[in-house]
Structure 1
Amino acid sequence: MTAVNTHERSVAPACAPGTVRRPRRRGHLSGWIFAGPAAALFALFFAYPLGASLLQSFTTEDAGAVHWVGLDQYQRMLHDPAFIQSLLNTGLILVVQVPVMIGLALVLAALLNQSWLRFRGTWRALHFLPAVTTLVAYAVVFQVLLKTDNGLVNQILGAVGISPVDWLNDPTWARISLILTLTWRWTGYNAVILLAGLQSIGKEQYEAAALDGAGTFTTYTRVILPQLRPVILFCAVTSTIGTLQLFDENYVLTRGGPDNATLTPVVYLYKVGFQQFDFGYAAAIAWVVVALIAAISALQYLAFGRERRR
């Protein structure tokens, strides 16, 4: 009896791992049950449309029949003046508007961070409010303000003796109007993000810079800005993505005109896809925009991160 009991006790632990595995399997099964609906929705509404659009960019439709054309849709862009013009317009907005906006946001964040400023919470909320308004709503407001006839801006200019400006019908002024509109909406948004970065910097660093004899400008350029590099990178990348995806503002203001002066790739994609019903070419444009966003974002990351890696 003693030998048998000893044998049974020695065998019993060998069965223990089997009893432990069952709850793990049940746990994995429970995880898949909970994650299953989200995974199914992701596959149905994101992964499948993404793959279908990529496949569609290599096809064309003629009389209801779909034909495989390979890279013809992408080669077509190289000879499409409207698409090239949309890239040039977007590049101009990106080079001019984004640096100006981030520069203004840095100045605004520094002012909102001052201890002597009264009602700081109110001022921060007021500057962030433009980012809360819907894209179409604020674009319609600017369309009314910038009307050539009876627009509020031209009425103010006329009151001080300046002749009316054809804001939305002249190519140059249309680009300026679009840049001003984007700057008004997104400067406060980026300022609040940069303000959060400023508040993460300890006061002792300001005091140390002051003890070393650094002035306000030197303190911000040599001490504060290097530490804000990740935050500035975030603002630059998100602003770049927003510019390359620009649609609502310029479509409401000018429909991409006049003379394609404010045409962007997404507006052109909309016209090709939903006005000309050339969905294969529209899908190819969409994937080129995705590639541009990835490439420019990577370049910005390398440019801003170079000093940190050193």
Structure 2
Amino acid sequence: MRRGAARPAVAGQRLWGWLFVSPATLVLGVFLVLPILMAAWVSLLDWDGQSNPFTDGEATFVGLDNYRELLAEDGLDRMLFMTSLRNNLYYVLIEVPLVTGLALGLALVVHQRRLRARSMLRTTFFFPSVTSSVAVATVFLFLFQGGGAVNGVLSWFGVHGPNWFADSRGVVWVALDGLGLVDARRPTGVLAEHGFLGLSWFEWLSGPSVAMCTLIVLATWTTSGTFMLIFLAALQDVPRELEEAAALDGVGRRRMLWHVILPALRPVLFLVLTLALIGSWQVFDMVYVMGQGAPGNTTLTPAFRSYQAAFGDADYGQGAAIAFVLFAVILAFTAGQRWLLRERGPRKGRAR
């Protein structure tokens, strides 16, 4: 009798559970899952956005042609998309470690118990994160112009700064050209003749442009405060007994950071790296405000290219396809990052 009576009770609990979560499930389904499915269908169409893609016959079904144009066929579409991937790849490789290291360093500084004005420092470091990104990007645009404040300060020291948003060369080749090792304005040879996925090796290996480096500095400054608070909350949960025991054993600050604090912060470190990685691949607003891909498409990103293809070129199918390729890239990088940061157990020795 008890087992039979328990089954209706469990069934009633499940029913009430579904009733409680049904509003959130309905909202997510209507505003998240359904738009994703609609965008997936649009990525298989040749649609200009002027008709109904689900009922009107003006939208032509082209299958995987939009993806093929981006990944396999030589042409302007693939060149622009691969250029945006190259730019964003440099952005990710530089910005993610930079912002993570800076945020962790700021958190360690603010976490010191003997430090005075800790609240003021926390507010100062976090303030850029709550400032409008469009407003900050506009200010940076004026600062890094040819006659902006940055070049004005450099001129005091006898350094004539570049026109930050006019040089389309990568910083690697700018440096090599400045040292007189190569002529970066006229690449020749194997690097210019051969390449990968529609771009020459010169374009892949030239590094980010000066303008892209400016975007990286801007993004690091505006996002490090948020990640600092996340690290700070995690540092406050680290048991003080571990630090005190390590200090009694004569462990220095570097060894304590590497062997005590960082292992305790592993889950939070993975969270911060994942958020930084996703945000770096989705950068859009700074690119839109500070040049829309200029100079020479060296600040073009996949997110902005998707917007450009859909709303600028009226090719909504290709814009949706770019969005889904970007989604696959983010999933691949997140999976690789999770594999690299996984917890590795002790190696099992051979039985003797």
TM-score > 0.5 by shorter chain: yes
Checking the alignment, whether the CA contact within 8 Å between 1:146 and 1:167 is kept in structure 2 is yes
Identify which of 142, 145, 154 aligns with 1:157.
Answer: 154
Deviation at 1:31, TM superposition (A): 6.3
Among candidates 56, 68, 74, match of residue 75 of structure 1: 68
- In the other structure, the counterpart of 2:226 is 189
In 2: Cα distance, 1:31 partner to 1:201 partner = 37
- The structure in which a higher percent of residues are helix is 1
Cα offset, 1:174, TM superposition: 0.5
CA–CA separation in structure 2 for the residues paired with 1:68 and 1:309:
54
Do 1:57 and 1:283's aligned partners in 2 also have CA atoms closer than 8 Å? Answer: yes
Q: Which residue of 1 aligns with 2:177?
A: none
Offset from partner CA, 1:203-234 (integer Å, 9 cap, x none): 22112112222111111111111111111111
- CA-to-partner distance for each residue in 1:144-173, whole Å, 9 max, x for gaps? 211212x12122222232213212222321
Partner-residue secondary structure (3-state), 2:59: strand
* Residue 168 of structure 1 pairs with residue 161 of structure 2: no
CA offsets 1:90-131 (integer angstroms, 9 cap, x no match):
110111111122112222111111122101011011101111
Correspondence for 1:215 among 252, 256, 263: 252
**Matched residues in 2 for 1:145 and 1:267: separation?**
23
- C-alpha deviation, 1:47, in angstroms: 2.2
Q: 1: CA distance between counterparts of 2:304 and 2:285? A: 8
Instruction: Note the 1:1-310 alignment, pairs <5 A.
Output: 28=15, 32=19, 38-61=24-47, 65-78=58-71, 79=73, 80-149=78-147, 151-171=148-168, 172-307=209-344
- Corresponding residue SS for 1:285: helix
Deviations 1:21-79 (A, max 9, x none): 79x879948964x7655544433322221111101111213796222222111111114
Per the TM alignment, residue 306 of structure 1 is displaced from its structure 2 partner at its CA by: 3.5
Q: CA deviation at 1:291?
A: 1.1
SS in 2 for 1:70: coil
Q: How many percent identity over aligned positions?
A: 36
Structure 2 Cα separation of the partners of residues 44 and 198 of structure 1: 39
Give the aligned residue type for 2:166.
N
Greater shift, 44-53 or 237-246, is seen at 44-53
CA gap of 1:98–1:309, structure 2 versus 1, over 3 A, is farther
Provide structure 2 residue ranges, at least 5 long, that are not aligned to the other structure.
52-57, 169-208, 348-352
CA contact (8 A) 2:95 2:280 kept: no
Q: Relative to 1, partners in 2 of residues 1:232 and 1:286: Cα closer, same or farther, differing over 3 Å?
A: same
Answer with 91-100 or 64-73: which moved more: 64-73
Cα offset, 1:83, TM superposition: 0.3
What is the CA–CA distance in structure 2 between the aligned matches of 1:147 and 1:123, rounded to whole Å? 30
Which is greater in Rg?
A: 1
In 2: Cα distance, 1:122 partner to 1:270 partner: 40
Distance (Å, rounded) in 2 between the aligned partners of 1:199 and 1:309: 28
**Partner of residue 5, structure 1:** none
**Residue segments in structure 1 that go unaligned for 5+ positions in a row:** 1-12
Aligned counterparts of 2:257 and 2:222: Cα–Cα separation in 1: 25
Instruction: Please tell me the residue identity of whatever aligns with 1:301.
Output: R
Contact 1:139/1:253 (CA < 8 Å) preserved in 2?
Answer: yes
CA distance in 1, matches of 2:220, 2:156: 25
| Structure 2: distance between partners of 1:217 and 1:30 | 49
Q: Counterparts of 1:107 and 1:40 in 2: how far apart (Å)? A: 42
Structure 1 residues 75, 308: CA separation in 2 closer, same or farther (over 3 Å shift)?
farther
Partner of 1:8: none
